[in-house]
Amino acid sequence: MFRAVFLLPFLSIGCADETISGYANPDATYRLTELSGTPFEALATISFPEEGRAAGQAPCNAWSAEQAVPYPWISLGPIAATRRACPELAKEQAFFEALGRVTLAEVQGGVLILSDDHGVVMVFEAE
């Protein structure tokens, strides 16, 4: 027990964020440009403002979610969103369904790709 007290400060030193937040540009907002091979015409974004958090704008509502799995995996949830209606609710529903399914993340420069093993591919570009 005495040794553990001395080890705890050393365990926290140098601990890097191993989630996607540690790999994506924390100052970037990534805009969805393609959803499963189809151009996404509505506004939908994602950003990683701090460790363990993702946030953005869906076609109608602002949203945020926790994410704590190590990169290159991603698991967003629960997703919390405002409840505003707009003409693009169908696109928003498709966006949230895809976000809830993605399990892999890849960051290359200004491009972020989120995908799953069943055909969902979300391509985002940094704004």
Domains and CATH numbers, the chain: 16-126 (2.40.128.270)
**Taking the mean position of all CA atoms in its chain, how far away is CA 101?**
11
Q: What is the pTM of this model?
A: 0.85
pLDDT interval class at 72 (50, 70, 90): very high
More confident residue, 86 or 14: 86
The pLDDT > 70 percentage for the chain reads 88
- For residue 82, count other CB atoms closer than 10 A to its CB: 11
Looking at residue 2, its pLDDT comes to 42
Residues in CB range of 84: below 8 A, 6 or more apart:
60, 61
Identify whether 72 is preceded by a cis peptide bond (ω within 30 of 0): yes
Residue 17 contacts residue 26 (beta carbons within 8 Å) = no
CA distance 46 to 62: 10
Residue 71 contacts residue 105 (beta carbons within 8 Å) = yes
Q: What is the pLDDT of residues 2-54, one digit of tens each?
A: 444 433 333 434 457 899 988 998 899 999 999 999 999 999 999 999 999 99
**Taking the mean position of all CA atoms in its chain, how far away is CA 17?**
14
- Tokens (6 digits) for 11: 């365990």
Rounded mean pLDDT, 65-82: 95
| 3-class DSSP assignment, residue 117 | coil
